[in-house]
Amino acid sequence: MRKDLLVLAFALASATAGCKKDGLQLSTPDNLLSGTKWKLISNSSLINLPGFTPLDNYALLLPCNKDDFQQFNASNVYAYNEGPTKCDPSDPQEQPGLWFLGNFGTQLTITYDGFSTNYTVDQLTAVSLKMHSVQQNNGIEETTSLVYKAVN
């Protein structure tokens, strides 16, 4: 029995070592998020008071804003890109910032253009990012929910 366990342990160790040799990466939250262009496909907000319904912020965006994307690069370098169509030709094509993914991939902080926003990551896959933030303004809580799709 003990010999069988040793053989099994050796086989598993060999298989794992083989994966590393082949260049396969584990699907960690950092790996899923970084190196991918993320395009916003849904943006809604809800004021957390009785009688308020969610507001579809995405529907209010101009077409020139709907082609923008974000990229989370190595070394926590963040980039907000205006996409192919810029609303104002004088705007920079890309705005740099920083990102940090913490708490086992469930908390994302994005800092750019002088502001930091903390998000709770609700879902992160190779093709989808869903997150939300909660902001307080004059004692009123507002939850903003964002959904992105991977575009490369």
Q: What is the pLDDT of residues 85-126, one digit of tens each?
A: 999 999 999 999 999 999 999 999 999 999 999 999 999 999
**pLDDT beyond 50 at 7:** no
Residues 60-81 have pLDDT tens digits of 999 999 999 999 998 999 999 9
The amino acid at residue 125 is T
Q: What residue ranges do the domains of the chain occupy?
A: 26-151
Global pTM?
Answer: 0.81
- Residue range 4-28: average pLDDT? 47
**Contact between residue 122 and residue 108 where contact means Cβ atoms under 8 Å apart:** no
Residues 119-150 have pLDDT tens digits of 999 999 999 999 999 999 999 999 999 999 99
- Say if domain 26-151 classifies as CATH 3.30.56.10: no
Which residues lie closer than 8 Å to 68 by C-beta, 6 or more apart? 39, 40, 80, 81, 82, 83
* Beta partners for residue 70, in sequence order: 38, 80
